[in-house]
Structure 1
Amino acid sequence: MASEAMYRPAIASMSLGRAWVHGLEEKIKQAGQAGFKGIEVFYEDLEYQAKAYNKGEKPEPTNEDALVAAAHQFRKLSDEHGLQVIGLQPFLFYEGLLDRKQHQVLIDKLKVWFKLVKVLGTDVIQIPTNFLQSGTTGDMDVIVADMIEVADLGLKEDPPVKFAYENLAWGTHIDTWDALWEVVWRVDRPNFGCCLDTFNIAGRVWADPAAPSGKNANADNDLQDSLSRLVKTIDVNKVFYIQVVDAERMREPLIEGHPWYAADQPARMSWSRNARLFLYEQDKGGYLPVVDVAKAFIAGLGYQGWVSMELFSRSMADPAPDVPQNHAQRGIASWKRLAEELKLS
């Protein structure tokens, strides 16, 4: 039986409410009071905190100075509420860019992120797979070379910075764990690994929000085969943390005419942004086989470490003051039930 120390619950700062709606202090306080031990920092929270800093009486600092000040504030609040920062995310739209000037802009931005993670007290930056609909290449040689570049820069930092690459279910070129793992394997750096997410695996292999059934054809067999391969393929030492989350089944297919349909983005992206749920919230429409995927991560791979209850939902933009508390309590209830079901403590 695993001890509680092997698995620690975390939540993403964004999961507690939108940065421009809900105050950072309240979100962090509610996460700590709920019983979470860790928190993922969303860059957006730092940006909005930096804007608030700029409105103070002090002389306006540079953008970088404001971001660093915001990171100090985030760290102070996290320490006060017993939360360890487990990573900073998302470093967006990086790999495979055809515009190499924009590539260099992001490399320069990354050097600021190196300063931020040191202040936050973490050594992990998460990079989601690129989902730009144009201006990128699926050439794996280019994608791998881009990732080697950031990994090597991270290795030069003291202490070294790690990168957790995450496949998004709507990624333009990398949308499955198989493709993700090819990149991780080919990069072959000790500080380059992955974040495995139940939604992004089940939501790609098993589910389809644009289908009347909410599922892909042959969904159950395909997921079983995928998870079997995952357990046999992925090196657990390259899994830097995992995320456990569910999503609503659409009452109507998410196609043209649906309120969340957007012609310029994939259905899975619209679904993800509006309708994720914490695990065990079937009463709210949750239906993904999340526990099966989590079992593959934990029992199959033997993963131990941070388990983040990450959420995106239209409810995060609700201005009601109790949203951070509500999300924190829902998230910790999900964690406790998962820990009980998988005998994690």
Structure 2
Amino acid sequence: MEPISKASLSSIPTCYATVSVGTPDHDLKDKLKAIAYAGFEGIELGFPDLLAFASKRASRDVGPQEFDILCNYGLQINRMCKELRLTIVMLQPLANFEGWTPQSEERKDAFKRAKGSIRIMEAVGTDMLQVGSSDAPISIAQDVAVADLKELADLLAAHNFRLAYENWCWSTHAPDWTHVWDIVKQVDKPNIGLCLDTFQTAGGEWADPTTKSGLLESRGSREKMEERFHESLKSLAATIPPEKIYILQISDAYKPIEPLDPTPDESGLRPRGRWSSCLRPVPFDGGYLPVVDVAKAVLETGFRDWFSIEVFDGGPDGQDQDWKDMPAYTKKAWKSFDRFRDEVVNVINA
């Protein structure tokens, strides 16, 4: 394995999620220009941004399953990215895909969305689809989830596409990296791998937005919790082959000013999901998660592929950002990322 040094990390390609600057109301071309201006080489194309782009250009609300129209506008996005020399690394996210009851309307809808996503991937020119571990309020049998993901992997393989499976830390069946890795191993297809995320790992195994301390108090003392967390990271570094990690997303989290209600909200979203949606800044900008430790573990596998900034920064109080200057924000994100690489090296050499 290549030693982890500043030089080795400087060659890692970098991308930025379009949903992590501005809002869907901001023109996508302006978002792309801000990302390119900051120095990023690629993007994760967020489905909400595709919808908003199509709706603005069509002068009407375009529905999420109007795939003919979405593909037409996807071709335009492809051209814009080529002009800005941005690679479209991944389309994201396909949510609540796996685990539905066979023959159910929900399962039919999930595969309709998946097949439409494949068409969009062809149009925009990307080969990777992000699937988040389901947070649907149903009991999901692992063998059903595995079967669904196998079928999706086969659909993607027909186009030489890949499936990046991510543990969402509020998922009802696969919140930790160990869960999604176990599922990926059982799917056992060459075109399925992991989308790992510093927030999802540290936010699920180290932190808890429903406690006053912001820490995972259910695992005993802080000392015991830290010990279990770092044992998990050691296991990650020793267990996952680097070729089975497709991308590492980077973000931190603010500790909520007041602990979040531990019960789901009116939409059914669990507290970590609410935390994720608006309290995720770039590293070194007010967050408190041990994100450098997570990145160190991922790099110790030998992984040297895409790093991506995926943040949802509503400030410490979770309110909307002032997006008057998107290039300034993406430039700040780049500086944070550059410091992030230095800190990873410092931790390794300590």
Normalising to structure 2: TM-score of the pair? 0.88
Asked if the contact 1:13/1:40 (under 8 Å) is kept, the reply is yes
Could you tell me which runs of 5 or more consecutive residues in structure 2 were left unpaired when the two chains were aligned: 218-223
CA displacement at 1:220 relative to structure 2? 1.1
Distance 1:323 1:317, change over 3 A: farther
Matches within 5 A, 1:32-71: 32-55=36-59, 63-71=66-74
CA RMSD of superposed structures (Å): 2.2
Matches within 5 A, 1:1-345: 1=5, 2-3=7-8, 6-19=11-24, 21-55=25-59, 63-98=66-101, 100-133=104-137, 136-157=138-159, 160-217=160-217, 218-255=224-261, 262=265, 264-281=268-285, 284=286, 286-298=287-299, 300-314=300-314, 318=320, 320-343=322-345
SS in 1 for 2:265: coil
CA displacement at 1:101 relative to structure 2? 2.7
SS in 2 for 1:85: strand
CA displacement at 1:216 relative to structure 2? 1.1
Asked if the contact 1:248/1:276 (under 8 Å) is kept, the reply is yes
Asked if the contact 1:207/1:219 (under 8 Å) is kept, the reply is no
CA displacement at 1:95 relative to structure 2? 0.4
Distance 1:321 1:232, change over 3 A: closer
CA displacement at 1:6 relative to structure 2? 3.5
Asked if the contact 1:10/1:40 (under 8 Å) is kept, the reply is yes
What is the one-letter code of the residue matched to 1:94?
F
Asked if the contact 1:275/1:313 (under 8 Å) is kept, the reply is yes
Query: Aligned pair count?
Result: 327
Deviations along 1:81-105, whole A, 9 cap, x unmatched?
2211100010111100126332122
Could you tell me which runs of 5 or more consecutive residues in structure 1 were left unpaired when the two chains were aligned: 57-61
Distance 1:208 1:278, change over 3 A: same
Distance 1:317 1:271, change over 3 A: closer
What is the one-letter code of the residue matched to 2:228?
D
* Structure 1 stretches of at least 4 aligned residues deviating more than 6 Å after TM superposition: none
Q: Distance in 2 between matches of 1:319 and 1:188?
A: 42
CA displacement at 1:197 relative to structure 2? 0.4
Asked if the contact 2:192/2:244 (under 8 Å) is kept, the reply is yes
SS in 1 for 2:96: coil
SS in 1 for 2:154: helix
Of all paired residues, the percent bearing the same amino acid is 32
Normalising to structure 1: TM-score of the pair? 0.89
Asked if the contact 2:22/2:323 (under 8 Å) is kept, the reply is no
CA displacement at 1:44 relative to structure 2? 1.0
Q: Distance in 2 between matches of 1:8 and 1:252?
A: 37
**Greater relative contact order, per chain length (Cα 8 Å cut-off, separation 6+):** 1
Distance 1:225 1:255, change over 3 A: same
Asked if the contact 2:210/2:261 (under 8 Å) is kept, the reply is yes
- Residue in structure 2 matched with residue 59 of structure 1 by the alignment: none
SS in 2 for 1:212: coil
What is the one-letter code of the residue matched to 2:69?
A
SS in 2 for 1:179: helix
